Structure 1
Amino acid sequence: MTDIFSRIAHSRTADEVVQQIESLVLEGVLRVADRLPAERELARQFDVSRPILREALKTLEARGLIVTRHGGGTYVADVIGQVFTQPMLELIGSHREAGADYLEYRREIEGIAAEYAARRATEDDRALLAQIMARMQAAHERGDFEEEAEIDVEFHHAIGECAHNIILLHTLRSLYRLLSDGVFQNRLLVFSLPGAREELLAQHKAIHAAVVGGRPAVARKAAMDHITYVEHSMAEAERTGDWQRVSRLRLRQRTEDGARRSGQEK
């Protein structure tokens, strides 16, 4: 991890260290499962004694913001947590209308995020988005569906970060948790539709261009149009999957019937 921690210039107390790490978590700079530097290095970056640092880390762990693994380092805790209980997750995953509601909500939230990002993105934000888009393009050219889908989620994460709104950021992260937890298993089905990968890439490029170009209204529309396309494509992919399933069963039934008739005729 690069030096994201600032030297404590004045009192050099544990409270100062706690406040700085809390801010980095709240602002989304430190993310779930990020590993903190080793104690010696962290004390050096903060310019505090190791006893002061240990006191600060103990306080942060008591507040549930970090976890220490014996012999394995210190990590940012799962501050997003489980958005829904396991029974509710199972209900969401098994009922089609929940998926539609999820995408409807995402369409509005991501439209706002893209609009804010177009207004507020810094040069560093734009550099990060450019890196993500380059990786997305490379995965697309390799035909790596799974990696392209993962970078897709990363791209939307980054747009949320560029919006520079803490509540919006963590709301979006909780939404994407449903994807990373596999609640909507059929999201990869979209990539199997003819022309879908090319269309999705073009849509991400449109969102990216509007954000870096500082066009809030265009960015919002591009983000919302993207989710609408995903919604329609998922429905089409599900229908196509159902058709294929039925066709496969029909073929199997006809083949078995033909074999039985052939045996009876003999």
Structure 2
Amino acid sequence: MSTPTPTDPIPRRKLSDEVFDRLHTMIVEGAVAPGDPMPSERALMDRFGVGRPVVREALQTLNTMGLITVSHGERSRVNAITPQSALAQLDGMAQTLLSVAPENLGHLKDARRMFELGLVRVAALQRSSEDLTALHHLIAMQAAARDQPDDFVAADIAFHARIIAIAGNPVITALADAMLKWIFHNHGALLHWSGHEDTTLSEHRQIVAAIDAQDAQAAVAHMATHLDRSAGLKQRD
């Protein structure tokens, strides 16, 4: 791609792009806070001297980015911007990527493995009694859902997400949660657990026992065994 020179003509921008920039600045600088309504379409038309289609296009771009929520018949409202909400904007693209280039699923599973092995070590060193209680509760929920595949998988995801959350780093938590969602939620073929429920539960109990003992090395070893075993099963199903 060539670099523009001082003599290159300056491309004309769409009016909606200019309106978007100003609204984006309002949100970033806190002129409108999360939960606040955006100015009405009429107010924005008067403020910027543009027509309704221009305002609506700018608002729709903000909505697509997850910065606001557009509701029919109501004023748009500003969304809270968090690591989770930022990464949620990638859900559709991630699903498309894994559909058109399935080989990336293996790369994603490798990334998940690296994340979780590091995070289970942190969990073993930082866990609280509340964390242990939550993990035991999730295992009990999963055991009660042996004959309910959807609930069993949901409890499985929640178990891994709870371990990840112990690190207390919202960015890492959001990244790891997103990977779990992309792997499990977007690929129904990977959700086949029939016949392996007891093995999964046993491995989860071993992981929690190591976390409880604050044995980071054992926690990593058990998690590696669990992820490698379950990945192998899913690949064969």
**TM-score higher than 0.5 here?**
yes
**Partner in structure 2 of residue 224 of structure 1:** 224
Which of 45, 59, 80 is the aligned partner of 2:33?
Answer: 59
How far does residue 85 in structure 1 lie from its aligned partner after superposition? 5.3
Q: Name the CA shift for 1:185/1:57 in 2 (closer, same or farther; >3 Å).
A: farther
**Partner in structure 2 of residue 184 of structure 1:** 187
Q: Name the CA shift for 1:57/1:214 in 2 (closer, same or farther; >3 Å).
A: farther
Distance 2:210 2:98 in 1: 33
**2:114 is aligned with 1:146:** no
How far does residue 228 in structure 1 lie from its aligned partner after superposition? 0.7
* Contact preservation (8 Å) 1:100, 1:231: no
Task: Report percent identity of matched pairs.
Answer: 18
Q: Name the CA shift for 1:200/1:82 in 2 (closer, same or farther; >3 Å).
A: same
* Contact preservation (8 Å) 2:112, 2:180: no
**2:133 is aligned with 1:159:** no
Which of 116, 126, 129 is the aligned partner of 1:123?
Answer: 129
**Partner in structure 1 of residue 90 of structure 2:** 83
Counting only pairs closer than 5 Å after superposition, residues 187-226 of structure 1 correspond to structure 2 as 187-189=190-192, 191-192=193-194, 194=195, 196-226=196-226
C-alpha RMSD of the superposition: 3.1
Structure 1: any 5+ residue segments left out of the alignment?
Answer: 1-55, 238-266
SS in 1 for 2:88: coil
SS in 2 for 1:214: coil
Distance 1:75 1:59 in 2: 8
Distance 2:224 2:99 in 1: 23
TM-score by length of 2: 0.63
Distance 1:124 1:58 in 2: 37
Distance 1:168 1:160 in 2: 8
* Cα-to-partner distance string for 1:223-259 (whole Å, 9 max, x where unaligned): 122111122101211xxxxxxxxxxxxxxxxxxxxxx
How far does residue 93 in structure 1 lie from its aligned partner after superposition? 2.8
Distance 2:78 2:145 in 1: 32
